[in-house]
Amino acid sequence: MKDFLTVTGLGREEFEGLIGRASANRDLLDSRSPIEPILKGLAVANLFFEPSTRTRLSFDLAAQRLGANVITFDPATSSTSKGETLRDTALTVQAIGADMMVVRHSTDGVPEQIASWTGLPVINAGDGMHEHPTQALLDAVTLNRRFGRLHGLRLGIVGDILHSRVAGSLIPALRTLGIEVIAVGPADWMPESETSHADALDDVLESLDAVYLLRVQTERGGTITKEFIANYQLNDQRAARLPEHAIVMHPGPMNRGVEISEEVADSARSLITEQVRNGVPARMAVFQTLAGQTG
């Protein structure tokens, strides 16, 4: 694997290998055990053209844990504001000494474009409404660590599916791993290609092992309405109808009081902080794979 741009084409065994490696990294980090610095002497460039808290910081720490030097690009203070093109920016960062790039951009396909311009290994940290593959990986790690398996689980992904790059990676990735995924949301926010979907959250709650809530992507065309909140917010009343073992997930950032209530976000069912914790080990696993480490 040279790049990590999409979950498309990633087979079940390859994905399970990444999950296993990420989980082993999590154990090492939790026990504060030494980690082989396989990126020592290499520079990782974080090119985030869109805001981020957890993805940027966890890529930053993951690269540092593996011994890399990290250079971080801030579009607000960069020469893009003086008219430099995206291609010239990417080639400039390469000339400065980047060996790998992590790219987030508001336009679909930019990470792939940068990979082709530079020839460097590139990781997609979220592109437009397309994909967010490392989010899917850390979510699969979270589910696997909680349930001890993935195959046969039933997960409802709820809300603004059409505009969500998280959904763009998570739905196909989890299906590859044998999870039954039901997309739940208003018809306007359901991709035409989605075959397993439900209009009403209330119809599926009792059958789910996990509920995965999505933020309404207002920056990409989604609109928060009272109707959405009334029909799709996971609140205490709805959470009470889930099976006792069922968990609640969210990629963050949450909009408390919109797709999720305060109480559910902070409840014992919520694995949202656990998802964030799995971000660093999952991203380390991707770096290790791209660096060609095996085993």
- Selected from 43, 252, 267, 293, the binder of ligand CP by CB under 6 A is 252
Minimum distance, C-beta of residue 243 to ligand CP, in the bound complex (Å): 26
* Residue 3 vs 127, nearer CB to ligand CP: 127
Question: Applying CB under 6 A, which part among 105-113, 188-196, 216-224, 245-253 lies near ligand CP?
Answer: 245-253
Pick the closest to residue 25 from 55, 61, 53, 52 (CA basis): 61
With binding defined as CB under 6 A, does residue 67 bind ligand CP? no
Beta strands 210-213 and 197-198: pairing type? unpaired
Q: Which residue of the chain is nearest ligand CP when measured via CB?
A: 55
What whole-number distance in Å separates Cα of residue 47 and Cα of residue 119?
Answer: 16
Minimum distance, C-beta of residue 124 to ligand CP, in the bound complex (Å): 11
* Residue 185 vs 251, nearer CB to ligand CP: 251
Sign, CA torsion 188/265/123/136: negative
- The DSSP symbol for 188 reads G
3-state secondary structure at position 219: helix
Instruction: Please work out the total of residues on this chain that contact ligand CP, with binding judged by CB under 6 A.
Output: 9
DSSP string, 47-110: EESS--SHHHHHHHHHHHHTT-EEEEE-GGGSGGGGT--HHHHHHHHHHHT-SEEEEEESSTTH
- For residue 65, give Cα distances in angstroms to 12, 100, 126: 27, 15, 22
With binding defined as CB under 6 A, does residue 55 bind ligand CP? yes
* Residue 55 vs 233, nearer CB to ligand CP: 55
With binding defined as CB under 6 A, does residue 292 bind ligand CP? no
- Residue list 133-172, contact with ligand CP (CB under 6 A): 135
Asked whether 106 and 50 are in contact (CB, 8 A), the reply is yes
- Selected from 5, 46, 122, 126, the binder of ligand CP by CB under 6 A is 126
- Selected from 28, 43, 54, 254, the binder of ligand CP by CB under 6 A is 54
With binding defined as CB under 6 A, does residue 273 bind ligand CP? no
Minimum distance, C-beta of residue 60 to ligand CP, in the bound complex (Å): 11
With binding defined as CB under 6 A, does residue 72 bind ligand CP? no
- For residue 175, give Cα distances in angstroms to 14, 15, 150, 228: 14, 11, 10, 26
Phi then psi for residue 66, to 5 deg, are -95, 10
* Residue 60 vs 112, nearer CB to ligand CP: 60
Contact positions toward ligand CP, by CB under 6 A?
52-55, 126, 135, 251-253
